[in-house]
Amino acid sequence: MTHILVDTANTFFRARHVSGRGTDLDTKISLAFHILFNSLKKANTMFSGSHVVFCLEGRSWRKDVYEPYKKNRAVVLDKRTTNEKEEDVIWWEAFDDFCTYVKENTNCSVLRESTSEADDLIALWTQAHPDDKHIIISSDSDFYQLINPNVSLYNGVANQIVTVNGFYDEKDKPIVDKKTGLTKMPPNPEWMLFEKCMRGDSADNVFSAYPKVRKTKLEEAFKDKNNQGFMWNNLMLQRWTDHNGVEHRVKECYERNKKLIDLTQQPEEIKTKIYKEIYEAQNPKHVEQVGVRFMKFCAKYGLTKLSEQPTDHAQYLNAGYPRATSQANN
């Protein structure tokens, strides 16, 4: 069984980013939907998908344990012009309409938990179905930490597939690093998670555990991580002072960041809520005439080219959850 796990907001708004400038707003929204649906169809075909799961955002529990979390995004939004803010409202209305459509007019699963991010839902879905295959549709590198023989990452906008064996294009050809001219090496999920916990994540406003630390020092500590020997403790027991004169210990900052970044570290009460949503999402929906409903959505947004191939899209939109036992049932 292969689950297509969609980081829904990421996929839609990345499609918005490449939908072009200089054209009218309706055309850009239409193009974004074309990119989104074609990414879904392509992923379902390439990976022989059994079922699509749309994962939606809630208000993150991380904001309650780390006050600065994603606050930088509000600052960026406040700097937008009136026209840009008005356009944002229309984009979000289109996105919400899409979410309602897949929930009410398809047999795909739709996951949303009010205190969790899509990252949390996707991570726990893979944990609840450890014997199944999973294809995550997203451009978010945070998912590299989940990659294993049963979990791969597909960026439908860039047409890039990341597996335990390396980076590939949609024709299964290895991707060459433009900087080095060499084939991109397979990701090391454990190292990438450790490095991000140490470096922080500027996109989410997660501060570094040890600013300006040398990569060689991190590599030495990482090699000693399992033994917790001299190199590991030499790093973790370091102290540094921020620009306000406040002293920090690396170990405490690292553990804070690990709680925020590591997708296995959700609080138990959050995990319980998510597993409940996963269990409920496995119930059959029995939506009929999915192809007709798809055509109506296409007509609403002027998706002419998509409406010419309704069967191709109805196939994955009509595929309900293949009822089987998952760990979320237990």
Angle at 91 between CA 90 and CA 96, to 5 degrees: 95
- pLDDT-derived band at 311, boundaries 50, 70, 90: very high
pLDDT, tens digit, 9 for 90 and up, residues 220-250: 999 999 999 999 999 999 999 999 999 999 9
- pLDDT at position 159: 87
Query: Could you give the CA distance from residue 80 to residue 77 in angstroms, rounded to a whole number?
Result: 5
Check residue 22 and give its pLDDT: 60
N-terminal to C-terminal alpha carbon distance within the chain: 19
Q: Residue 38: exposed, middle, or buried by beta-carbon count in 10 A (0-12, 13-18, 19+)?
A: middle
Q: What is the average per-residue pLDDT within 288-296? A: 96
Say which range, 10-24, 59-73, 113-127, has the weakest mean pLDDT. 10-24
pLDDT for position 327: 58
How does DSSP classify residue 141? G
Task: Provide the pLDDT for residue 169.
Answer: 92
The mean pLDDT of 309-325, rounded to a whole number, is 86
Intervals of CATH 3.40.50.1010 along the chain: 2-186+266-329
- Report pLDDT for 21: 67
User: Strands 160-163 and 166-169: what pairing?
Assistant: antiparallel
pLDDT surpasses 70 at 124: yes
Q: Residue 235: its pLDDT value, please?
A: 97
pLDDT per position as a tens digit, 74-102: 888 888 898 888 999 999 999 999 999 99
Read off the pLDDT of each residue in 154-169 and give the average, rounded to a whole number. 92
The answer to whether the beta carbons of residues 103 and 110 sit under 8 Å apart is: yes
pTM of the model: 0.93
Residue 140 burial by Cβ neighbours in a 10 Å radius (0-12, 13-18, 19+): middle
Please give the pLDDT value at position 325: 45
Average model confidence (pLDDT) across the chain: 93
- pLDDT tens for 40-69 read 999 999 999 999 999 999 999 999 999 999
Angle at 185 between CA 181 and CA 190, to 5 degrees: 145
pLDDT value of position 76: 82
User: pLDDT above 90 covers what percent of the chain?
Assistant: 84
What one-character DSSP code corresponds to residue 91? Answer: H
Domain 2-186+266-329 fold is Rossmann fold (3.40.50)
Q: What is the pLDDT of residue 329?
A: 53
Of the candidates 195, 208, 163, which has an alpha carbon nearest to the alpha carbon of residue 262?
Answer: 195
Question: For residue 260, is pLDDT > 90?
Answer: yes
List pLDDT tens digits, range 184-222: 988 899 999 999 999 999 999 999 999 999 999 999 999
Closest Cα partner for 26 from 82, 73, 94? 94
Q: What is the mean pLDDT of residues 297-311?
A: 93
Cβ–Cβ < 8 Å for 233, 221: no
Residue 148 has pLDDT above 90, yes or no: yes
| Alpha-carbon torsion, ordered 22, 28, 32, 35, to 10 deg | -60
The larger pLDDT score, comparing residue 157 to residue 138, is at 138
